[in-house]
Amino acid sequence: MKNQTHNGWTNYPTWKINLEMIDDLDTDHWTDFIEDNRGSDMLVYNLGQEIREYVEEKFYSECVTEKDLVYQYALAFIADVNWREIADHVLDTYKENYWCDNCGTRVDERYQSNYCSSECAREDELLATHPKG
C-alpha cells in the first residue's frame, strides 16, 4: 500500500492511531518518561517507542491471544505508523503546557501567574504586549 498523507499526518495509520489512542490521553500520561529522558538526544525516538509499546499493549489486552486474527490485523495496521511523528506531537503539546518558553524549566500550567524568574515574567509581558504582525 502506498503511503499518502492524511489530514496533515504522514499517513492514515499515523493519523488514526494518534486520533483514537493518543490524542485523548492527557500529556500527564507521559510526564515521568519525558522528564526522566529530558535532555537526551534520543527523547523523541524513545518516546515514539514508548508510545508504540503502549498501543501494542492496548491491542493485546483487547485480544484473547497473540494468535487472535484481530490482533494480527491490528499489528499489520500499525506497522505503517510514524511513531516519531506522534512523539513529536505529544512532546510539543507537553512543552507548550509544562515548559517555560523562556528558560525551559518545567512549570505547572495551573500556576501560570508564577514564573520561573523575573526574567520569565518580563519576557511573557513583552510577548503579551508586543504588537502582532
The CB-side HSE value for 104 (13 A sphere, CA atoms) comes to 3
pLDDT at res. 50: 96
d(CA 15, CA 8): 8
Read off the pTM: 0.78
Q: Give the pLDDT of the chain (133 residues) as one tens digit per residue.
A: 555 889 999 999 999 999 999 988 877 789 899 999 988 999 999 999 999 999 999 988 887 777 788 889 999 999 999 999 999 999 998 888 788 777 777 776 555 555 677 777 787 778 778 776 5
Let me know the angle formed at the C-alpha of 33 by 47 and 121, rounded to the nearest 5 degrees. Answer: 105
Counting DSSP H helices and E strands in the chain, the numbers are 6, 0
Q: What is the pLDDT of residue 115?
A: 66
Report how far residue 84's alpha carbon sits from residue 49's, in angstroms, rounded to the nearest whole number: 8
So what's the pLDDT on residue 82?
A: 98
Cell of 114: 508564577
